[in-house]
Chains A and B, each alone.
Chain A
Amino acid sequence: MHTDAGVEARLPIRSDMDLVWVRQHVRQAAARLGFGLVDQTKLVTAASELARNTLVHGGGGLMEASHVADGGTDGLRLTFSDTGPGIPDLDRALSDGYTSGGGLGMGLGGSRRLVHDFVVESVPGSGTTVRVTSWVSRPPRPREEA
């Protein structure tokens, strides 16, 4: 069983320096839970996109990281929340290339592809919460040769 020390955290997202801490924490937590290098990189990249959205569009907020377990499978759950303006049209925001600012518009739709579960809750005028979860993939059990 994994220890949750080094996985569970609540980190503020108030500056581009905080984005660095968020990425480093996610890298470390994912490694600790047993994610492989490519999956670690996907999680860190998704976290970077979502944390930057929290900072830039949400006016700052928080990331919470937690260890989740489903049967024998370990997962990492990351929740990004802010009390910013919210997202009026979620479908549009999730589509590739849509940006209300000067971005590429790849962050939200792209990070959804990088994780296993992706949930956005947004209330215009009161804030946005994005919760993502990925599961450690176990190497398939070698099959018996017939």
Chain B
Amino acid sequence: MSEGFSRPVAGHVPVLRLGDVLLVTLQGDLYDSMAHQLQQDLSETISRSRVTGVVIDISGVEMVDSFLGRVLAEIAAQTELLAARTVVAGMRPAVAITLVELGLTLPGLRTALTTEAAMELLAQPIVPSRAGGVREESP
């Protein structure tokens, strides 16, 4: 049986552990219930293990609406309370443009262009501002 477009993924979102960091890859179109499940699974995993960071790769996500945007923001807030940091990586340009027009700028969310950049960000010590340990990009 072949379909002209991708089927929604059923079941759980895979969560991979890389050292102190959890890597979550969202792909395709998620059921609301799966996003909620992920949110719950992540806080349980973080509180059980000594994870200091979460990277959520959304490069395979074609759309973020206010529901998924809120789930991402809540995951970030939860991990913060559990002494870890979340970075959302790889948002597609079309998704970013649409989110801003929708009115959802998600100010509390840390982002990176790639998962590699997100891992680097998490490897840096927590600094209150851009000054200090973080090197500025050359202009």
Q: A41-B63, A45-B63 are in contact. Are A16 and B31 (CB under 8 A)?
A: yes
- The answer to whether A114 and B102 touch across the interface, beta carbons within 8 angstroms, is yes
Q: Is the CB of A45 within 8 A of B33?
A: no
Binary contact readout B1-19 vs A (1 if CB under 8 angstroms, 0 otherwise): 0001110100000000000
Cβ of B29 within 8 Å of any chain A Cβ, yes or no, is yes
Q: CB-CB < 8 A to A96: which residues of B?
A: 103
Task: Report the minimal beta-carbon distance from A121 to chain B, rounded to whole angstroms.
Answer: 23
For the complex, is A110 an interface residue (Cβ under 8 Å from B)?
yes
B65-73, B116-124, B128-136: which one contacts chain A? B65-73
Closest chain B residue to A50, Cβ basis: B65
Q: Does A83 contact B (CB under 8 A)?
A: no
**B residues adjacent to A (C-beta < 8 A):** 4-6, 8, 29-33, 62-67, 69-70, 92-95, 97-98, 101-104
Question: Which residues of A come within 8 Å of B, CB atoms?
Answer: 16-17, 19-20, 23-24, 27-28, 37-38, 40-42, 44-45, 48-49, 52, 96, 103-104, 106-107, 109-111, 113-114
